[in-house]
Structure 1
Amino acid sequence: MGSKVRAAAVFAVTSALLAAGAAVVTAAPAAASTITGIAAGSWAYVDSAAPRTSFTDPAGDVPVGAHTYANGVTHVSKSYVTFDLSALRGTRLERAGVSVDETTVADCSAPRTTELWLTDPAKKPTWNNQPAELVEAGGPIVDTSCPARGVFWNATTAVQNALDAGRKTATFALRLPDAQQSDPKSGRAYDPHATLSISYNRAPLKPVQLTVDTTHACAAKPVVVGPGSTSLGAVITDPDGDFGQAEWALWPVDHPDQKTTLQNYFSGNGAVSVDVRDRLADATTYAWQVRGLDGPDAGPWSAVCKLTTDFVPPDKPPVVSSKDYYEVGLGTGGTGVPGSFTFAANGVPDVVGYYYGLFGSPRDHVAATHKGGPATVTVVPDSSGPQYLSVWSVDAAGTWSDRTDYRFWVAANGPSMTCAPAHAYLGETQHCTFAPHGTDGASGYVYSIDGEPEITAPAGPDHTATIDVTPSEATKPYYVTVRARMGNGNLSGPGGGQLPIDRGLPVVDVPADAMVGKPVVFTLHAPLPGSVTFTYDWDYGDPVTVPVGPDGTARVTIVPDSAYGHYLDVHTTTGAGLVSATNEVSVQVASNEPTVTSTEYPEGRQGGYVTTPGTFRFSSSVPGVVGYTYTYRGSAVTVPAGPDGTASAALTPLSTDTQYLEVTSTFADGTVSEPAYYSFHPRSAAPPLTCDADGGAQPGQVVHCTLTPVQPGLAVYGYSVRTWSTTGPEVAVQPAGDGTAAFEFTVPALPERELLSVTAWSANAAGQRSDTSYTSFYVTPDPASLPRAVRAS
């Protein structure tokens, strides 16, 4: 029989075992049994025709029952298969079955009655020396095929019998019943590769790694726990890797009769914990242990652990004192100077230690000298100024007291720095000496310039050190930060400062009369010794380099092309390539724009009436103006300048909109100034309009209106009447002697209620209109005049 056939048989038997073992467990999760198959380790058969011969591990199939050979001799056989039971040691057997494939059947019509018996151990059985048959297995169970595959016997009782007897192996006999054993029609053969399929479970192992609150391992001395969550922990291993339950037992040591048990699940190979805070009373010592449950199989109990509860925190904060850093008064000590601080329990007897740290952070812990006793620590401040040390006392349960803040002042103890010469230019070496603060002394100094990597300078016998610095870059601050390595090996607070450097900032003489289009001469001065060139730029444009004159100056000419604020940046460069600091000078440039004035229409204010001409005068503070070009209402006009350099223009505004005037000057050399912008606001010249229909009117009604003069030089009035759908003609009205005018009109017939509006204006002799006046009213038709609806008959 091939391996695939045997594998299929094992699978079928295993499935049968699972089905046979299904059960419902409500108190705990069902045990996850291990199901496996064990191949026969050896096989043999006995033959009545060779009663003293043992046929052990023969090649080919094994015979069962009677077989008549060609010589007419009938052979009666039994076959034996042996299985190794070592995998079942320490387990609880649930089910077992043996399966084997038929390979030859003498007569398929004969019933399948092969029996399977557990026998005594038999390494080399013979017909004359057969092992005793002890327990018969149930079966056989066969399919309808012939020969049948996977003939199965229920061997649970038989295997358990072997295990109970302490046997390491189990041998089974395949035989026919006595009544059929000698009948050749019942004879058959089997594949010797039989399989023992078993289902078993192993109990969880003894729990290990017992802890309280995760971090406290179980020990001879009880773990002290405070208020809040209290968890018991363990690691439980199930040999089968099952999911199971952890059973916990907890009881007061003084009252074992008050034992409480509780259960929770665990994964077969991992940590498990349970929170028992709601089951604990204050000031009580408890014992506890745990074991694993896997269905009906219980593992051994763990060792017994103990815990003691203390739910009351220290009721008073600690007392803090120091002889090195005073709580009040002037600063003492210094950065890097150790200070001794003593913590006292303030009369709380169960304090076992203290947490402490600067500025409210409990970074460190120190144990008390004894329960309720003090502790002394050394704190090294890492900065100067006001500080505070925060301290909490803690009891054995880890419960903290309120906080005490001890406030003190750390004196500044940074080293001093003096540099010579006191005034030095870029490129000149300065000798800077570091000296310790007060009597602190120093074995050396650690310094950095502008945050670059620190450099160590050893101190001399007088505890000072000198360094040489040659500044070469005007843009660098050259700020020295230095700390002393004090006698205790710690670093002091910072000292130092900025080197006194003259960066050779150029001086620039700026003329006070700078104006657009006019050459401006700037005088540059070079303070940095050895300067050979000036480099300047105007408004961050392209740089220009000019030589430094023998007197250390240079003159540069710039013609500004726009007014107001400009920037001139200047630096010098020495023959050795040192670049000075850059001086950025703000230059205010006056505009060469012309000045515009008008009496009739002042700038930015309301002036004369619409259609009233105004005179606008143009002038310039820059000599040499030959003409002015002004743009008004989109048209550009040029007027020549008079001998005094001025000109004027008469302009007539035709609306109340803000009016804009742009004017430029033209000089004798043909250049044009920047434009001047002038705005003004004409006054409304609209004639006031009143009509006697302000409350509404009806079609056919005559409406009377009056106009009052406003426009200077008024010559004629005009009006028009319009509705939503119609526009009447423009009608001229002559003014009376007093300048007023009256007119009337008949309200037109309208099919429905509609808004009627009246617009009026005036005009001078030149035909220039004023802006308009406006009034409106609703026209309501008389209902009697409207067409009547014809009632349907």
Structure 2
Amino acid sequence: MSFGARPRAVLVSLGTLGLVLTGAASPASAADAAPTTPTQLFNGYRHCSTDADRPSYHWAGDGLVVEGIPGTTDATGNSLTGVRYQAWPVTDPTRITTVTRDRARPGFEAPATLPASALADGQTYAWRAQTVVGDAVSGWSAPCYVTIDNTRPANAPTITSPNYPSDVWTEGGEPVEFTLSAGGADDVEGFEFAWQQVMPVIGTSIGEYGIPQPVDPYSNTKYFKRADALGGSATLSLVPPTGSGPMTLWVRSLDPAYNGSAITSYSILVNSTAPTVTPAVPKPEFGEPTEFTLRPDPELQAKSPVVSYSVRSTGGQNDRTFEVAAGADGTATMELALDGIYGENLQVTSKSANGWVSNAGWWSSDYETTPTVASDVYPENGSGGGAGVPGTFTFTPKVKDVASYTYTFNNGDPEVTVPAGADHTASIDWTPASDGWYDLTVYATTRSGIQLAPYDYFFTVN
């Protein structure tokens, strides 16, 4: 929900609000059900303030929801009640607006809406509640005080950073220090910020018995920071969401009613801080345990030591992510047996002691697991033999530990599996029934049961 409309969201439906602008009587209930003063008072789904010098602030462009829990002396809780709410400007207590909620259930919040037409922007109001049972009424609650604020901060905030100049390529490795200022708006209470332009909505969840569960948004330090004074500034120390490249922080000011100002932004450009990934041998083989060394970006290591690496392996039999601890010099070693039949990719990010997470360093294998296929009579991508002329096809592995080969001609014939010999090769004899174009598809299977990549051998029978 946009701050330009209403700067908060209620996360559950409250049902239809009964609204009467005069003191309509509540239905009668059990004769012994005497009304008691409402409790759990809220306005705009936030706690009411009983301190006239410290009112709560609310946007009320669509009116203001006021609510409390009515009570009676009926121990069964079956009595129906009503709740009457009165509100008036603190500067003129004679201008009373009355709304009621009829047929309310004791023990549950009974909301009603003070109309927007009765609430002037910038004016402070007091309101109170009483329980109504037939002709009987409870005492009034203590007044709650609320100031109506339908106007968002006049100016967008300003953003500066001492260590990451705007739109200038800068070496990464340390959190970005930001100073957020109100831009001359004197009603700014704090700031909302995010690394994406769409920011979180300030909402209130509803608990048992319809009781709102308001939370101070400034307790969420990931997105909010209170100003050092009304109309003042705030400082942030943020680790960017990615380790390099262009990034933008989006910020808006919030007044005490959580009305949001226009959004402003600050863009930074961060050089790569990716680690390097180096295998112990130039070309690791399929299935062979290989040691890899992970080394931090030197400038990153100089700013804050790398303490760990996150390794993401893709393309293997099972994609996986795991952590590797770094030594005092920021380097780490790990051992992997690569089992991707089309190769395997490693994406590695480093994490520094100050919380900085680098962009990913990449490493990719370049081995092949397809078998080699050869035939003297029927050469690959050539022609030979003829209908009824037998030919031999020999399968040779490119990887170790091959146990068998599975093949089919023209992909429509049944698959046939033949065992590999002691040298891990196999040969088959085949006689074509007719001339024409053929496709021999072959794949190998290892002793551990991994089905390797298939190879297509094309040829023509004369």
Compute the TM-score of the two structures, normalised by the length of structure 1. Answer: 0.45
Cα offset for 1:487? 2.6
Distance 1:333 1:265, change over 3 A: same
Q: Verify: 1:480 aligned to 2:346, yes or no.
A: yes
The 1:303–1:580 alpha-carbon spacing in structure 2 relative to 1, beyond 3 Å, is closer
How far did residue 318 of structure 1 move? 1.3
Change beyond 3 A, Cα 1:395–1:477: same
After superposition, give the CA deviation of every residue in 1:749-768 in whole Å (9 maximum; x if it has no partner).
xxxxxxxxxxxxxxxxxxxx
Q: Secondary structure of the equivalent of 2:122?
A: coil
Please give the secondary structure, in 1, of the residue aligned with 2:237. Answer: strand
Give the whole-Å Cα distance in 2 for the aligned partners of 1:546 and 1:257.
Answer: 100
Q: Distance in 1 between matches of 2:448 and 2:104?
A: 78
Report the Cα offset of residue 579 of structure 1: 7.3
Give CA-to-partner distance per residue, 1:5-24, whole Å, 9 cap, x none.
xxxxxxxxxxxxxxxxxxxx
**Residue of structure 2 in register with 1:368 after alignment:** 227
- CA displacement at 1:489 relative to structure 2: 4.5
- 2:127 pairs, out of 288, 310, 317, with 288
**Pair 1:311-2:150 in alignment:** yes
Post-superposition Cα deviations, 1:317-349, rounded to whole Å, max 9, x if no partner, equal 111222344331325426xx5222221111111
Work out whether 1:225 is the aligned partner of 2:63. Answer: no
CA contact (8 A) 1:504 1:526 kept: no
Match of 2:96 among 241, 253, 259: 259
User: Which one of the candidate residues 429, 438, 441 is aligned to 1:569?
Assistant: 441
1:203 aligns with 34
Q: Cα 1:206–1:227, aligned 2, differ >3 Å: closer, same or farther? A: closer
- Determine helix, strand or coil for the equivalent of 1:278: helix
SS at match of 1:545: strand
Answer whether contact 2:397 2:425 (CA < 8 A) is retained.
no
Sequence identity (%) = 25
Which residue of 380, 390, 393 maps to 2:250?
390
Partner of 2:6: none
Other structure's SS at 1:439 match: helix
CA gap of 1:202–1:502, structure 2 versus 1, over 3 A, is: closer
Pick aligned residue for 2:194 from 353, 357, 360: 357
Equivalent residue in structure 2 for 1:558, among 399, 412, 430: 430
Task: Report the Cα distance in structure 2 between the residues aligned to 1:577 and 1:268, rounded to whole angstroms.
Answer: 68
Indicate whether 1:585 and 2:451 are aligned: no
1:32 shift after superposition: 2.2
- Deviation per CA, 1:286-322: give whole Å up to 9, x if none: 1121222222222111111211122211122111222
Q: Does 1:538 align with 2:408?
A: yes
* In structure 1, distance between residues paired with 2:366 and 2:102: 76
Asked which structure has the greater CA Rg, the reply is: 1
Amino acid in the other structure paired with 2:110: V
Distance 2:287 2:97 in 1: 87
Q: Give secondary structure in 1 for the equivalent of 2:35.
A: coil
Shift of 1:213: 0.9
For 1:232 and 1:566, locate their aligned partners in 2 and report how far apart those are by CA, in whole Å: 81
Report the alpha carbon displacement of residue 274 of structure 1 after superposing the two structures with TM: 2.0
CA shift for structure 1 position 492: 2.9
Distance 2:197 2:247 in 1: 10
> What does residue range 724-743 of structure 1 map to in structure 2 within 5 Å?
none
Q: Quick one: structure 1 residues 296 and 459, their matched pair in 2 at CA, closer, same or farther if it must change by over 3 Å?
A: closer
Structure-2 separation of matches of 1:262 and 1:582: 75
After superposition, the Cα gap between the structure-2 partners of 1:262 and 1:468, relative to the gap in structure 1 and judged at 3 Å, is closer
Report the counterpart of residue 110 of structure 2 in structure 1: 272
* 2:28 aligned residue: 31
**How far off is 1:352 after superposition?**
0.7
Q: Tell me if the contact between 1:506 and 1:582 (Cα under 8 Å) persists in the aligned partners.
A: no
Q: Contact conserved, 1:505 with 1:580, CA < 8 A, in 2?
A: no
Match of 1:496 among 358, 362, 369: 362
State the Cα distance separating 1:238 from its structure 2 match: 2.1
Residues 418, 29 of structure 1: CA spacing in aligned structure 2 closer, same or farther, 3 A cutoff? closer
Q: 1:279 offset after TM fit, Å?
A: 0.7
Equivalent residues in 2 for 1:6-17, closer than 5 Å: none
Distance 1:461 1:366, change over 3 A: closer
Deviation at 1:414, TM superposition (A): 2.4
Instruction: State which drifts further: 518-527 or 410-419.
Output: 518-527
Instruction: Find the counterpart in structure 2 of residue 444 from structure 1.
Output: 308
Kindly indicate whether the alpha-carbon contact (under 8 Å) linking 1:248 and 1:288 is maintained by their aligned counterparts in 2: yes
Deviation larger for 273-282 or 244-253: 244-253
Change beyond 3 A, Cα 1:314–1:505: same
Note if 1:244 corresponds to 2:110: no
The answer on whether the counterparts of 1:519 and 1:557 sit within 8 Å (CA) in structure 2 is no
| Pick aligned residue for 2:394 from 512, 521, 524 | 524
Cα deviation, residue 434, structure 1:
0.7
Question: Contact 1:233–1:271 at 8 Å: present in 2 too?
Answer: yes
1:416 Cα shift? 0.7
- After superposition, the Cα gap between the structure-2 partners of 1:528 and 1:261, relative to the gap in structure 1 and judged at 3 Å, is closer
Match of 1:464 in 2: 331
**TM-superposed deviation, 1:245:** 3.1
Partner secondary structure for residue 269 of structure 2: strand
Q: Which amino acid aligns with 1:369?
A: D
Distance of aligned partners of 1:303 and 1:589 in 2 relative to their CA distance in 1, 3 Å threshold: same
AA aligned to 1:232 is V
Residue type at the aligned position of 1:206: T
Matches of 2:451 and 2:138 in 1, distance apart?
88
Residues 532 and 366 from structure 1, CA distance in 2 versus in 1: closer, same or farther, beyond 3 angstroms? closer
- Match among 422, 433, 437 for residue 293 of structure 2: 433
**Aligned AA for 2:194?**
G
Question: Are 1:245 and 1:294, in contact at CA under 8 Å, matched by a contact in 2?
Answer: yes
Corresponding residue of 2:172: 333
User: Pairwise CA RMSD of aligned residues?
Assistant: 3.3
Instruction: Give SS of 2:155's match.
Output: coil
Counterpart of 1:508? 374
Partner of 2:179 in structure 1? 342
Cα 1:535/1:285, change in 2 over 3 Å = closer
Q: What does residue range 151-170 of structure 1 map to in structure 2 within 5 Å?
A: none
CA distance in 2, matches of 1:283, 1:377: 31
**In 2, Cα distance between equivalents of 1:465 and 1:248:** 68
Relative to structure 1, the CA distance from residue 370 to residue 562 in structure 2 (aligned partners, 3 Å threshold; closer, same or farther) is: farther
